Structure 1
Amino acid sequence: MLSLSDAKKIAAYKAVDENITSESKIIGIGSGSTIVYVIERILQLKDSLDKEIIYIPTSFQSRLLITEGGLNLGDIDQYPEIDVTIDGADEVDENLNAIKGGGACHLREKLVAEAAKKFIIVADYSKHSTTLGEKWKQGVPIEVIPFAYLRVMNSLKELGCDNPILRMAKAKAGPVISDNGNFIVDAHFGLIKQPKELLEKIKLLTGVVEVGLFVNMAKSAYFGNEDGSVSIKHT
C-alpha cells in the first residue's frame, strides 16, 4: 500500500510524462507538495526536453523550485498564453471541479491555470471525492482585501456559511498573508453540489479578490492510488 506521498509522486510523474513533451514551450507550475515531484520529474527528463522551455510559477515556492533546478523562469505578464499547467488540488470532484487554496496561492494558481491550453490536476487518492466538501473540511479558501475581511465574512454568512474563519499564521501572531498581501478566509459550506453557482455568488462580494473554487477548468486529473496505479479522468 502506497503512502500519500508516494501516490502523489507516481501521479506527478505520469502527468509530466504524458503532458510535457518536446513540443511544449511554456509550462505553468503550480504550488504545494505535489509540485515538488512535478519538478523532480521534469529535471529527470531535462535532457530530452526543449532547452528553451519557459516555466511560469504560481507562488514563491514554485519560483524557487524552478530557479534551483536551473530551469528558465518566466512570469504570467510576459507569457499570457501557456501550453500546459500542472498543479495539485485540495479536493477534486467527479466532474474535475476542484477546491484549491490550502497553501494560499489560489489567485496566481487560477491565473496560470486559465492561461493554459491544458490545465492538469495531480493528486493522491485521498483528494478524490464525489462532491466538493466531502473530504476537504477546511472550507473554501477566499482571498480578501485586508480592510474588507469583516464585511466579507458577514456576507459569507448570508450565503450559507455558518462560521467563516480568518486563517491565522502558525509561526507568528496574526493572519496568513498571501503572496499578494491579502488575507485568506476559509468558508465552510458543507457539500457543494453546485460549485459554479457558489463561485459566482462569492466573486460578486466586494472585497473578494479570488475564490478557491476551480470550476470547469481542468482537462484531466491524475490520481495516484494505494495499489501503485494511476487513475486518469478527463472532461
Structure 2
Amino acid sequence: MCIAQRVKDESLAVVCVPTSYQARQLIIDHNLPLGNLDTHPILDCTIDGADEIETGTLTCIKGGGGCLTQEKIVASCSKQLIIVADGEKEVSNLGEKWKKGVPIEVIPMAYKPIQQKIETKYGGEAILRMSADKAGPLVTDNGNFLLDWVFPNVKYCWSSVHNYLKLIPGVVETGLFIDMTNECLVGDAQGNVRSLLKTVQSIEL
C-alpha cells in the first residue's frame, strides 16, 4: 500500500477514514491511523476508483464493489474527490463500456416495487444482485440489497435520473456520482497518467 510506505518513509501525519469493511481492514493491516466521520467530519481528500467515467462532466458510475453509499458519504465530506482509474473506464457517455448498470442500494422489503418503478419509468432491467459466495442476494455493509439497473442505450440527463431514483421510497443511494469529482487520474499499461478535469457542467432538467 503506497500510502503506508509514504507514511513510513516521510513521517506523514494522516488519518484514514474507510468507505467499506475491506478498506477498514487494509488500514488496520498497514498500521495506519484509523478515523471516522464522528471524529473527522470534514476531510481533506477522498481518493477512490470508479467503474466508468464520463469525460467532460466527470460523472461517474460507482458501486461495482457494493459500497456506493459509504463511498458517497465520505466523498461528500471531503474538500475534493480524486478518482484514479485506467483508461478503459473513460467514455463519452455512461454505459459505453460498463454493461453491468447503475448500482442502486435499496431497503430489502422494497426491492420488488422499486424494480418495477425503475423499469416502468426508464426501461431496461433492474437486476437484484446475488451473492457470489452464498445463496441469496448480496447484502451491503449497511444490511441492504443492491439493484443493478442495466439501462437502455439512451442519452440521459443523469442529474434528473438520480433525483427521480432518490425520491422512490426505499431507495437509499445511487451509484451515480454527479458534480462530486474534482479530478480524474487516468493511467495506461505503459505507466502514463493523464489528468482529466471537468469541462462541461452537468445540467438538470
Equivalent residue in structure 2 for 1:203, among 143, 166, 184? 166
Deviation at 1:158, TM superposition (A): 1.9
Are 1:149 and 2:111 counterparts? yes
Give deviations 1:112-166, integer Å, cap 9, x for gaps: 0111001000001111111111111101000000000001001101221322100
1:231 aligns with 2:194: yes
Find the residue that maps to 1:54 and give its secondary structure.
coil
* Preserved CA contact (<8 Å) 1:161 1:187: no
Distance 2:11 2:196 in 1: 25
1:111 corresponds in structure 2 to 73
Q: Tell me what 1:65 maps to.
A: 26
Alpha-carbon shift at residue 49 of structure 1 (Å)? 4.4
Q: Which 4+ stretches in 1 moved above 6 angstroms? A: none
Question: Identity over the aligned pairs, expressed in percent?
Answer: 44
Question: 2-side partners of 1:176 and 1:182: how far apart?
Answer: 8
How many angstroms apart in 2 are the aligned matches of 1:163 and 1:211? 15
Counterparts of 2:11 and 2:128, CA distance in 1: 43
Q: Aligned-residue CA RMSD in angstroms?
A: 1.2
What letter corresponds to residue 190 of structure 1 in structure 2?
P
The answer to whether the 8 A contact 1:106-1:211 is kept is yes
Give 1:196 deviation, angstroms: 1.0
2:125, 2:151 within 8 Å by CA — same for their partners in 1? no
- The residue matched to 1:120 in structure 2 has which SS? strand
Count of matched residue positions in the alignment of Structure 1 and Structure 2: 195
Q: Equivalent residue of 2:173, what SS?
A: strand
- Equivalent residue number for residue 202 of structure 2: none
Counterpart of 1:97 in structure 2 is: 59
Task: Give the superposition deviation at 1:42.
Answer: 0.6
Say which of 35, 40, 49 aligns to 1:79: 40
Q: In the alignment, is the contact (CA less than 8 A) between 2:6 and 2:12 conserved in 1?
A: no
Q: Is the 8 A contact 1:106 1:212 kept in 2?
A: yes
Point out the more displaced range, 143-152 or 69-78: 69-78
SS at match of 1:123: strand
Which residue pairs with 2:183 in the alignment?
A: 220
1:193 and 2:156 aligned: yes
Q: Which residue of 2 aligns with 1:134?
A: 96
CA distance in 1, matches of 2:150, 2:157: 14
Return 214-223 or 156-165, whichever deviates more.
156-165
Which amino acid in the other structure matches residue 204 of structure 1?
L
The alpha carbon displacement at 1:204 in A equals 0.8
CA contact (8 A) 2:86 2:187 kept: yes
Q: Judge conservation of contact 1:91–1:136 (CA < 8 Å) in 2.
A: yes
> Which residue identity is paired with 1:206?
P
Cα deviation digits, residues 27-58 of structure 1 (max 9, x gap):
xxxxxxxxxxxxx111221131433x210000
In structure 1, stretches of 5+ residues that fail to align are 1-39
**In terms of mean alpha carbon deviation, does 182-191 or 205-214 score higher?**
182-191
Q: Which runs of 5+ in 2 are unaligned?
A: 199-205
Select which of 167, 180, 202 maps to 2:129: 167
Q: In the aligned structure 2, how far is the partner of 1:171 from the partner of 1:126? A: 28
1:188 positional shift:
1.4
Check whether the contact 1:131–1:193 (CA below 8 A) recurs between aligned residues. no
3-state secondary structure, aligned to 2:47: strand
2:27–2:34 CA contact under 8 A, matched in 1:
yes
